[in-house]
């Protein structure tokens, strides 16, 4: 029944002169996402709205599911599209729409019309009034409620006629690519994929880095991170995942530094490496899944210590979220089931029984000097052996 979708966009962060940049990015992202769906589509923007028209047969559920993952979309309205917009055809189509879409006709409704074609036989208020009468005639169970209808039937008369009454919620946010790029520290846990999702939803393109510690972390653990990245890519589009071999650095920290400071020092090296990769890839910030107080390395004092080594802004979208709230988002975006698979992550291998919860920066700095002789070469090896994986949805 639906040959097109009207795409309503959410907040337009870039108003005025730059608005077209937002719309063009959204159109491109829609085209890109629909490439992986069955069928051919034509995406166009017209007077502040975006239309997706199907040129061939297509799979409705697949298309809606692809559209509902595109950031910047507030709502998706499946539209009946009529090439022939003479009044009789519009009436017939509108009756068909109500007849097929609403099994139970016991509801209140209102017909709203928008007429872009000023030569049409009726004005917008007339279209609303006349179609209301046509529908009441055909379906006597219907009731009109102009103030608070349960169904709003919209008729737009443009080059073609459009009829729609349904609105499927989109993910909101801003189109990917309208806000620069950031480097996500992606582990195999629950939090970092959610953090990446939230930042990407603001229009930020992602790159990601994963610190791998073979043989302490298995190939399965790395595969799990790639799987998570792939699930994220359904929202963010393709991105690069940098895999850094962290074993040697981790071992050196383990051998030379106080064990209760292990996690903090390790996190500081992760941030340093992530920042270097970020700068090389023209990223404007780092993203982590940290949340105040969640674990010893995420107290305010610990965050102070990890933050100190970076000069780029570190975005922590989950900073004030409870774990349960994070879990709910990860379920919604479908990363949860993969995140809870039991493959060890590189931080759990070397965790101390009693990690410091209130680390003192000057103490940590002093402990790190014990690595002075070896760390330069180790960092160089880590960069030289970096693996880059192209993640696609
Ligand atoms: P997550 O669920 O995201 O793994 P977590 O609760 O396990 O988080 P930590 O292990 O303290 O918390 O990690 C805090 C943040 O540091 C993570 O959210 C992630 O951004 C980053 N991080 C931790 N381990 C790694 C890793 N092996 N590779 C890349 N980033 C990591
Ligand atoms: Mg973790």
pLDDT, one tens digit per residue, over 171-210 is 999 999 999 999 999 999 999 999 999 999 999 999 999 9
**Which pLDDT band, with edges at 50, 70 and 90, does 15 fall under?**
low
pLDDT of residue 14: 59
What average pLDDT is seen over the chain?
94
Separation of 355 CA from ligand 2 center, angstroms?
Answer: 15
**Which pLDDT band, with edges at 50, 70 and 90, does 216 fall under?**
confident
Contact of 65 with 53, CB cutoff 8 Å: no
Question: Which residue's alpha carbon is at the smallest distance from atom 2 of ligand 1?
Answer: 189
Separation of 190 CA from ligand 2 center, angstroms?
Answer: 7
Among 211, 289, 327, 355, residue to substitute to test ligand 1 (most atoms within 8 Å of Cβ): 289
The answer, yes or no, to whether any atom of ligand 1 lies below 6 A from the CB of 290, is yes
Q: Which class for 182: exposed (0-12), middle (13-18), buried (19 or more C-beta within 10 A)?
A: buried
Q: Is the pLDDT of residue 348 over 70?
A: no
Q: What average pLDDT does this structure show over 212-239?
A: 94
Among 183, 191, 307, residue to substitute to test ligand 1 (most atoms within 8 Å of Cβ): 191
Question: Which residue's alpha carbon is at the smallest distance from atom 4 of ligand 1?
Answer: 189
The answer, yes or no, to whether any atom of ligand 1 lies below 6 A from the CB of 330, is no
| Portion of the chain with pLDDT greater than 90, in percent | 87
d(Cα 359, Cα 296) in Å, to the nearest integer?
A: 9
Q: Which atom of ligand 1 is nearest to the CA of 294?
A: 6
């Amino acid at each position: 029944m639906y040959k097109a979708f009207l795409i309503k966009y959410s907040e337009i962060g870039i108003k005025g002169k730059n608005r077209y940049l937002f719309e063009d990015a959204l159109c491109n992202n829609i085209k890109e996402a629909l490439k992986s769906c069955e069928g051919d589509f034509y995406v166009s923007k017209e007077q502040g709205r975006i239309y997706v028209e199907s040129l061939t047969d297509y799979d409705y559920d697949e298309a809606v599911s692809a559209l509902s993952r595109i950031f910047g979309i507030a709502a998706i309205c499946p539209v009946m599209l009529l090439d022939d917009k003479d009044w009789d055809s519009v009436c017939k189509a509108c009756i068909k729409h109500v007849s097929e879409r609403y099994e139970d006709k016991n509801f209140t409704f209102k017909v709203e019309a928008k007429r872009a074609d000023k030569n049409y036989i009726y004005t917008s208020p007339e279209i609303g009034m006349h179609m209301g009468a046509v529908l009441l005639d055909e379906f006597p169970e219907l009731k009109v409620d102009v103030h608070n209808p349960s169904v709003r039937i919209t008729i737009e008369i443009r080059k073609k006629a459009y009829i729609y009454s349904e609105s499927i919620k989109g993910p909101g946010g801003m189109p990917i690519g309208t806000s620069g790029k950031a480097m996500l520290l992606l582990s195999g846990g629950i939090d970092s994929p959610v953090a990446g999702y939230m930042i990407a939803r603001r229009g930020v393109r992602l790159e990601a880095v994963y610190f791998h510690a073979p043989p302490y972390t298995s190939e399965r653990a790395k595969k799990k991170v790639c799987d998570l990245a792939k699930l994220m890519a359904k929202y963010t589009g393709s991105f690069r995942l940098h895999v850094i071999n962290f074993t040697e650095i981790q071992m050196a920290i383990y051998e030379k530094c106080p064990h209760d400071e292990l996690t903090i020092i390790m996190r500081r090296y992760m941030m340093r490496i992530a920042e270097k990769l970020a700068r090389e890839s023209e990223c404007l910030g780092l993203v982590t899944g940290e949340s105040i107080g969640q674990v010893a390395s995420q107290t305010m004092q610990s965050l102070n210590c990890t933050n100190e080594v970076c000069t780029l802004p570190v975005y922590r979208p989950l900073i004030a979220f409870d774990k349960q709230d994070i879990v709910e988002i990860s379920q919604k975006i479908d990363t949860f089931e993969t995140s809870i698979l039991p493959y060890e992550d590189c931080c759990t291998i070397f965790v101390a029984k009693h990690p410091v919860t209130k680390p003192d920066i000057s103490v940590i700095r002093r402990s790190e000097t014990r690595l002075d002789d070896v760390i330069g070469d180790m960092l160089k090896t880590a960069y030289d052996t970096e693996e880059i994986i192209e993640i696609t949805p």
